[in-house]
Amino acid sequence: MGLPKKTPGLVWRGVFFLWVSLLIGAPVQAGPSVACPAPDHAVAAVVGYVDDGDTVRLTTGERVRLAGIDAPEVAHPAYNDRPAKPAESFGDASRQSLQALLAQSRNRLLVQYGEEPEDRYGRKIAYLFMPDGQSIQAELVAQGMAMAVYMPPNLVLADCLTAIEHQAEQHQVGIWRSAEYSPGIDTGKGVPADVQGAAIIRGKVVSVHQTRKTVWVNLEGRVALQIPARVWSTFNGVDFSTWRGETIKARGWLVPDRNRYQEWRMPIESPRSITVSTR
């Protein structure tokens, strides 16, 4: 089925909706106080449509996924054998925030494609900047409209986005007012069936199993963290077995994976994605 035709004018509508949401909600943080790297080989582009808080379509037809962040999902209609999904909390607000940012420059921006330039859905992966070099990812994280995620090799903004997110969480801005983000989904109480995309989870480690290719960290509630061998070296010699009995907070994409070992699986690609509590 072909995609519906969208126009740049739709981006401008987000300004009105965001203005209304600000009148009825808590104030949004003005912007990051941590500087992110400026673009060094970006190209000029124009956005034709904003899909959600982390995906846009350029007027060239390219669909671009913002590297280094994940925003709450907007509603998705039923498609083929996939059922309709409602919007997540802050999903619409995140999309409207991105629309409002782009409206400031009449939808013009700079695009710097990632080291891995395309995802498995055929979307381009890129860092987006306002014409003055201001990071769009950083602005969305500062406003609490997206969280940082870590998918090597696209880690150019990882450190600055982490610092900005820490500020947003401290001030309980946007998504950080939701318990699903702060302190995160408690796996011991069960993962909600309607979780979509990336998530933050926390739970006690009940077992750790290491094979030649994978470390499996099993949390309460039948949730398993999957750490592939190719990233073990980035953990700087950590003995994963010492995590047994500890409480871990992890972030990444939760994948339904119902078998005799677990019901949910979260692939981990970076040590930045895991925090182990200290006793």
226-269, pLDDT tens digit by residue? 999 999 999 999 999 999 999 999 999 999 999 999 999 999 99
Domain boundaries, the chain: 9-176, 180-276
Share above pLDDT 70 across residues of the chain, in percent, rounded to a whole number: 88
pLDDT at 194: 82
What pTM was estimated for this model as a whole?
Answer: 0.85
Largest distance between two CA atoms of the chain = 55
* Cα 248 from Cα 271, distance rounded (Å): 12
Compute the half-sphere exposure of residue 6: CA atoms within 13 Å on the CB side of its CA: 20
CATH number of 9-176: 2.40.50.90
State pLDDT tens for residues 209-218.
999 999 999 9
Query: What is the rounded average pLDDT of the residues 89-99?
Result: 95
Question: What's the token pair of residue 112?
Answer: 């710097």
Distances (CA, A) of 34 to 103, 109, 166, 171: 23, 21, 11, 15
pLDDT bucket at 196, cuts 50 / 70 / 90? confident
CATH topology match: 9-176 vs 180-276? yes
Return the CATH fold of 180-276: OB fold (Dihydrolipoamide Acetyltransferase, E2P) (2.40.50)
What are the distances in angstroms from CA 235 to CA 110, 144, 187, 202, 230?
34, 28, 23, 19, 11
d(CA 145, CA 70): 9
Tens digits of per-residue pLDDT, 113-133? 999 999 988 999 999 999 999
